[in-house]
Structure 1
Amino acid sequence: MTEKAVDTLTKAEAQEELARLADYLSRANTAYHAEDAPEISDADYDAAKQRNAAIEAQFPDLKRADSPSDQVGAAPAEGFSKITHVVRMMSLANAFDDEDITEFDDRVRSYLNLGPDAPLAFTAEPKIDGLSLSLRYEGGKLVSAATRGDGAVGENVTANALTIDDIPETLTDAPDVLEVRGEVYMSHEDFAALNARQTERGGKTFANPRNAAAGSLRQLDAEITRSRPLRFFAYAWGDLSAPLADTQYDAIQRLQSLGFQTNPLTRLCKSPAEMLDHYRRIEAQRATLGYDIDGVVYKVNDLALQQRLGSRSTTPRWALAHKFPAELAWTHLEAIDIQVGRTGALSPVARLTPVTVGGVVVSNATLHNEDYIAGRDSRGEDIRGGKDIRIGDWVQVYRAGDVIPKVADVDLTKRLDDAQPYEFPTECPECGSPAIREPGDSVRRCTGGVICPAQAVERLKHFVSRAAFDIDGLGAKQVETFYNDGWIKEPADIFTLRDRYGSGLQTLKNREGWGEKSATKLFEAIEDKRIIPLARLLFALGIRHVGESSSALIAAHYGTWDALEQGLVDAAEPGPAREDLTGIDGVGEVMATSLTAAFSNPAERASIDRLIAHLTVQDAQQIAVTDSPVAGKIVVFTGTLEKMTRAEAKAQAERLGAKVSGSVSAKTDLLVAGPGAGSKAKKAAELGIETLDEDGWIALIGA
């Protein structure tokens, strides 16, 4: 597939690309998982999925609900019954260079409040390029097997898993409940033999071993799976009735003793230097292993530390996937296009003479921003030796993490004599409004707002994305068509579509690509989304800096639409309402300003009000009260904590059902104050709020 580079995308471009990737990967998943007929290569699939995650990292406010990175895997196929994972199957954060590994070690130490000389060991093992599988044993007997699916729910492939020789049907001396997790894969030799047999029989051949393994495991007929040479490496676990061991390494050894195949290249490393040494040893053996790997996975060895570190929304803090280096290629830079995003960001994209990089044809690459084109970084220091990028240049392209196309270098010896430095536009190419760059911002933005068609279309695409309203049948392409035809100009227009076109059905079903059935389904899908959770609604509004996770936090804080609306209006001015808003964990002044500006801008507020008139907004789900001593309480941490970092303390409090705030107010229930506590401790004393030191907090929660 041809991919756009992330750093060259404007916000409008990024949103369009996210929509395209969601559709692309959805179709690929259907072909790959449900129909056993992959339409794209393994490299293309992984590239698209990682690219989606990279775009979301670059533009967090554009994150879609159907993001492949958020979904962790693919939705379960319809041909299988579903199994809900007791412990979510997560994906891994990626690293691409040596510095990332040192930073990983530093992050873990910082989170755990460990000094640089404190012992900290990691396991390092090959990252198998196969299909994730979870095996549940009860009383030593295999009772179910499930694919990762979307991380929460997978496909029931128990009958198929029982045909794989590497998967034992019964275990001896195992915990009463044991979920073993690992990777189903196919060796190079077996893959070649399978394709040869398929060719002899006139059947379809597979693109690569990973697709062959996935397609074979997802056969509705287990006998077909039995005929396929599948293997299984165990490397993790989920639900347990009793611990396997105290460390990751010993737990893997325990799985091996129970009869599972574990990777013989797994090593225990005591420093980033040892991790990198083992990474290079594995990389050197990559071509001769006989099965596909695409990197090395590092995990904190001490399982008690893993538990303390916990997880982010989709990835554990205690693990990291170190991907193999990107491939490089040289090609011609034909043009530089400017794309306008949902928040007005102007993003430069390199249009390239198509070139194959890492098995993927690349014709676009990110150029990040105007500084990157000029050969400067965000601090004004030289990059690429200070070489700027000009149209007509011969440029070196690489795919970061084998995914994101980027321009790495310029060959000045081939630069045309008449090549001119690129002049970044100061006007929006879509609406002609001034494009300004605020102090401290690396991006130039269109000031056109609602009059800019690019911003309007991208905001509508964001509105219907999966993390937002997720209207089935109304994707990015349909939104763009309806906007250009004047059918939809703002979100409220979606909910008046049927009324404004008579029955709506007759008009829509006669359009190209639509029939009576698809038109009816669209209107039904729109009706279904008139009831929307508060967090989804807030995210759907597309307010700059407000992503999916922050929308959930803000919604949980205010609880109802009326309270949120009034709170944001009142927070536009300094005072208790502003302090209440910025006191929400993760909401700083920048995000608070974006929120209050959206609700104070007359045009934007009117658009929101028109939308709300068509909706029933569900109150945010409140934290369930548990037997925890801090469940439902608002807790503030201040000062220096000595036995744990503040990040760990906050995560711990939230796991126990508390709401963590960044500021003290009359609503605060408890202040945890370490050495150096200042104004917050003073204010808490004035308000009569209970205050504990770190030891008191640890005693309270029983840690």
Structure 2
Amino acid sequence: MDREAAQREIEKLREEIRYHSRKYYTEDDPEISDFAYDGLFRRLEDLEAAFPELVTEDSPTNRIGGAVYNTFAPVVHQVPLESLHDAFSQEELLDFDRRVRETAGPVEYVVEPKFDGLSVALEYVDGVFTRGSTRGDGVTGEDVTENLRTIQSIPKRLTEPVPFMEVRGEVFLSDGDFEKLCQRQELLGEKLFKNPRNAAAGSLRQKDPRVTAGRGLSIFVFNVQRIQGETLSGHEQSLKRLEALGFPVCPIFHKATDMEDILRFIGDLGDRRGELAFPIDGAVIKVDSFAQREELGSTARFPRWAEAFKYPPEEKETTLTDIEVNVGRTGVLTPTGVFEPVTLAGTTVSRATLHNQDFIAEKDIRIGSRVIMRKAGEIIPEVVSVVENPPESVPFLLPDRCPSCGEQVSREEGEAAVRCTNPQCPAQLLRNLIHFASRDAMDIDGLGPALLEQLVGEGLVSSPADLYTLEAGRLEKLERFGEKSAENLLAALEKSKQNDLYRLVFALGVPHIGVKNAQVLCGRYPSMEAILAAQEEELSAIDGFGEVKARAVAEFFSHGSTRDLLARLESLGLNLKSQAQAPAGNALAGQAFVLTGTLPTLSRKEASALIEREGGRVTGSVSKKTSFVLAGEEAGSKLEKALAMGIPVLSEEEFLKMLPT
């Protein structure tokens, strides 16, 4: 490869890696597997090694990874939280050992599992937990102390009053807790986390610690960053000291000098990783002696005294025996594949989501197909490809009628989802009720998923309207439900009757209509009577709506079952009129803004409030109707699209100058 071709590929790789790093570290929403990302990174490293004159300071190979939000206060790490260099073969591990011995001489290693979570630092003063932070970019992290306090396994007070101590650990979700979280997200109709690592990261970065507390996070502490009042000489000694002080330390580690012994341990650990209660994606080899670590030092990104071995994703062949179609809260039909059981990463897999019709058609998945299966992130089973299809098989198509209620299903142009549009579909009942009672909808305090499931199971509720006919006597007979609980719930239901109309519109679960769209709709049509009378053509003229949302609103409110429900809710005393107030100012009247990236001082919620206060509106995507794009650090595809379309891009400073003083 010549220099010019190398430069083109290097620039393309850097752009791809930055994009996927932002999706993984900052947005907790990866689009490719760890294995694919590692392949991109390794290719960039190889090209930069072959053409060192093309290496730049801002190359991803010179950064630890991650980014810092402005959601939390920054924390500067006095001892950097370094990343690890990855190895993918035994030969690379032997090269690592050779390099270490050439510099440090005879060594002892400690081998541990490589946890698949979010790295954090914990600080203790006189044995009391005082501050906790994320790794961030390795030098600066985020102060997430209050969220870390909700993790039960983090000791709030050590067994001894050590004057000062900073330790490093990995926050993670156990396989069981990750599956429970995914089940709950599915029940609520929320977007599912891709893997345990991103679930842990997303949970720890919640602005409300109560949300973090409900996620079931755990931690293993594996390193002493700083300590006062005593001296530690090696890693094994520090692990034992951490355990004595009350920290949760992974019980699996192995000390050895012989590389054959180490490679055998890594192989055995890989074979049984599916049996572990916590997620791992590899093993880490560390020089035990701290004095030798000092001698070996670090590169710009990695310590030279440690190496991480990444396990390759395990793939196996099996047969698809059936495809089941389920209906979600929003009416989306989701196909699930049933397979001949196969063992992957230590567990038996017999079911996996097939996502949607496009996924099935793209891979030509049919009943009877021989397929390649693997576990994404060592947790979620997925179909990689089809090996062959039986001669008599036919392409699989989702049904044209809802398998639950029999109503016709529909698919919007440009959408992958096929959905049932019947708001009273029985399959959607529990999910709809959970959404109806949720915080951004009717905000009925105390009416959570567990209680709703109980109410539905007892036959007390089969419609949102039934919630408002509940009686204390019936509620008090429920398991773990007393007189006071019944009184509080009935009071919360009564209070919710006075909610603004937009909350009810959002609570009803109109496809494509979120909270913001519900507010816009009710600003244009200030009563339910007006919404019911609105025609699709006039709805599509509302700023930010367009044909898809207009059609969704028109179809939803034209259903006889929707109108019957609304009539019943009105008879039960619910408010069906908008209480929206006019904007306080008009400096941004008629202007449409799109927000992207992280602003220096304003959160997105604060920036949106300022825009709406002055008569502007905030939309989620860039289009020809967009007036301005307000962009901060780590702005992504929305910024690129705005620049390509010639839409003005504002910094926070420029935006604030548009507001009245």
- The one of the two structures with greater contact order (alpha-carbon pairs below 8 A, sep at least 6) is 1
Query: TM range, normalised to the smaller chain?
Result: 0.3 to 0.5
TM-score, normalised by the number of residues in structure 1: 0.45
* Bigger radius of gyration among the two: 2
